[in-house]
Amino acid sequence: MSAYRTDDCQPWVLPVVKKVERLIVEDESLNHEYLPILGLPEFRSAASKVALGDDSPAIKENRVGGVQALGGTGALRIGAEFLRRWYNGVNNAATPVYVSAPTWENHNGVFADAGFKDIRPYHYWDAAQRGLDLTGFLDDLEKAPEYSIFVLHACAHNPTGTDPTQEEWKQIAEVMKRRKLYVFFDSAYQGFASGSLEKDAWAIRFFVSEGFELFIAQSFSKNFGLYNERVGNLTVVSKDNENLTRVLSQMEKIVRTTWSNPPSQGARIVSKTLNSPELFEEWKGNVKTMADRVLLMRDQLKAKLQALGTPGTWDHITQQIGMFSFTGLTPKQVEYMIKEKHVYLMASGRINMCGLTSKNIDYVAQSIHEAVTKVQ
C-alpha cells in the first residue's frame, strides 16, 4: 500500500492543504468554467518551476512547458502517447522503451497501451549487493539501440528506494547523450524523499543543464497528500520555443481525446500553494515533516535489527530513500512474515516505510529477525 501515514497510522491531510482548500471554497471570484485542455496555466508553470528550479535557464529561455494531467499516471500516458506518435519518426511503435528492473508495476502497462511494441528491462537492482547495479545499467545503456527511450526515476526509486549517486548520474547521462537515448523522468516523490525539493530534483536539473530535451512526469499525490485529486503535470523541456509550441499543440490533441478538460480542484490547491511565498514555505515544512518521519523509521528499524543481532547487513535500509525499502527478504521469509507474524509486505520484500510507527516498529523488527533466523 503506497500512501503516507502518520505515527498513528492515519492518512495525513497536510495543514497547508486544509488551509488552501478553505481559501478556495471561500473564493467568490473563482470562475467555474472548464479548465483549458492543457490545464490551469498557473499550475503548469509552477509545477515545472518546482522541478527545474526558480532560476532554471531552460525556463528563462522559454523552452519549458507543462501539460496538466490526471496524476503521475496521466502524465506518463500523455507523454508516452506523444512519443509513440512523434518520436523517432512518425508513428514508430517499434522504438524500444526501457524500464528499470524492477520498476513500478504500471510503467509497462502505460507504455504498452500507448502503443509501444518493444518494452524491455534495464539492469538496476543488484539483489546480492542490495544496491544499484551500475555496471549492468551502464552496459544496457551502451547496448540499447540509438534513440531508445529510458524511463528514469528522478528520486526515491520505486520499489527499491535505491538511487544513483550524483557521480553515478553523471556517468549515466554521459552514455545517454552519446547514444542519443531519450530521457523520460518519473518524478513522484520530489521533497518527500530527502525532505529537500532541490536535492530530490538534482538528477533532473543536471540532465537539463547538460542540454537534454526530456519529459518529466510529475505527481503531486504524495508530496501534497492529494491522492484522490489526481494532480500531475508533464513537464516538457524542448530545444527551443518553436519546438515547444509544436509539441504542446500535439499534446493538446492527445489530451482532447483522453479526458479533454482536466479536473481543477487539485491543481488549484497546488498552484495556490506553490505561487504564494508564505504557503510555499509552509508546504515545504509539511513535506519535511513527512520525509523526516520516514527517515526516523529507517534509522530506528536499522538500529533495532542491529541490536537484535539479526544476521546480514542492514545498512541498505538507511541508504535507501523514500517510501519504499527493499529489505532483501526472500519470498519464503516474506511468506513467514505475512502468515506467521501478520506483517504485510510485497513478495519482492518491498516494505512501505510509512506503515511503520513507534508502536509497531519493535514488533516489525522482531518479526524480520525471526524470519531471517528461522527461514532460509
Partner 1 sequence: MSRPGSSPDEKGVSQNGDPGGQCPLFTNTLNAPVSPETRLLSAFARDTQARKVDLAGREYYSEEGKPFELRLVGKIKQQLSTDPTLHPEYPSSLGLREFTRKATEVALGKHSRAIVENQVLGVQTPGFTAAVRLGAELLRCWYDLSADWCGPVYLSSPCDDSLAGIFQAAGIQEIREYYYWDDKQRGICLERLLEDLESAPEHSVVVLSASAHYPTGADLSQSQWAVITRLITSRRLFPFLLLPTQALCCGDMERDAWPVQHCASLGMELLCAQSFSHCFGLYGEAVGHLLCVLKQNSVLLPVQSQADKIVRSLWARPSVGGAHVVTTVLSNSAHLVEWQGEVKHIVERCMLIRAILREKLRLLGTPGRWDHLTQQGGLFCCTGLNGEQVEFLSNRRRVYLLPGGCLNVSAINCRNLDYIAESIHLALTSSL
The reply on whether position 285 binds partner 1 by CB under 8 A is no
Is 222 an annotated catalytic residue? yes
The reply on whether position 31 binds partner 1 by CB under 8 A is yes
Three-state DSSP state, 370: helix
Q: At what angle do helices 277-308 and 361-374 cross, to 10 degrees?
A: 40
Q: Burial, 309: exposed, middle or buried (Cβ in 10 Å; 0-12, 13-18, 19+)?
A: exposed
Span 174-203, contacts to partner 1 by CB under 8 A? 177, 180, 182
Cα separation, 79 vs 97, in Å, equals 13
Interface with partner 1 (CB under 8 A), residue from 79, 262, 349, 355 = 262
The reply on whether position 330 binds partner 1 by CB under 8 A is no
Q: Shortest gap between Cβ of 54 and partner 1 (angstroms)?
A: 21
Position 307, amino acid: A
Interface with partner 1 (CB under 8 A), residue from 121, 211, 285, 312 = 211
String of contacts with partner 1 for each residue 350-369, x by CB under 8 A? --------------------
Span 63-82, contacts to partner 1 by CB under 8 A? 70-74, 77
Is 104 an annotated catalytic residue? yes
Q: Which of 222, 272, 302, 304 is catalytic?
A: 222
Name the DSSP letter for residue 99: E
Beta bridge partners of 219: 232
The reply on whether position 113 binds partner 1 by CB under 8 A is yes
Q: Shortest gap between Cβ of 79 and partner 1 (angstroms)?
A: 12
From 255-263, 275-283, 312-320, 322-330, span contacting partner 1 (CB under 8 A) = 255-263
Interface with partner 1 (CB under 8 A), residue from 62, 135, 249, 373 = 249
Cα separation, 183 vs 163, in Å, equals 16
Q: Shortest gap between Cβ of 306 and partner 1 (angstroms)?
A: 35
The reply on whether position 128 binds partner 1 by CB under 8 A is no
Interface with partner 1 (CB under 8 A), residue from 7, 42, 87, 199 = 87
How many residues sit in the footprint of partner 1 (CB under 8 A)?
69
CB contact at 8 A, 364 and 301: yes
Q: Nearest Cα to 30, choosing from 280, 272, 281?
A: 272
The reply on whether position 145 binds partner 1 by CB under 8 A is no
Q: Which of 12, 104, 125, 314 is catalytic?
A: 104
Q: Nearest Cα to 235, choosing from 82, 356, 64, 99?
A: 64
Residue with grid cell 542540454, as numbered in its chain: 211
Name the DSSP letter for residue 318: H
Cα separation, 278 vs 332, in Å, equals 50
Q: Quick one: which H or E segment has residue 70? A: strand 64-70
Beta bridge partners of 237: 64, 214
Could you please report the per-residue DSSP string of 85-145?
A: HHSSSSS-TTS-EEEEES--THHHHHHHHTT-S-EEEEE-EETTTTEE-HHHHHHHHHHSP
Q: Which of 133, 186, 200, 314 is catalytic?
A: 186
CA angle in degrees (0–180, nearest 5) for 106-83-121: 45
The reply on whether position 210 binds partner 1 by CB under 8 A is yes
Beta bridge partners of 99: 121
Q: Is the torsion defined by CA of 349, 353, 355, 359 positive or negative?
A: positive
The reply on whether position 254 binds partner 1 by CB under 8 A is yes
The reply on whether position 206 binds partner 1 by CB under 8 A is no
The reply on whether position 216 binds partner 1 by CB under 8 A is no
Binding site for partner 1 (CB under 8 A): 3, 10-11, 13, 21-22, 25-26, 31-35, 70-74, 77, 86-90, 92, 106, 109-110, 112-114, 147, 177, 180, 182, 209-213, 225-230, 238-240, 243, 245-247, 249-250, 252-254, 256-266
* Catalytic residue annotation: 104, 186, 222
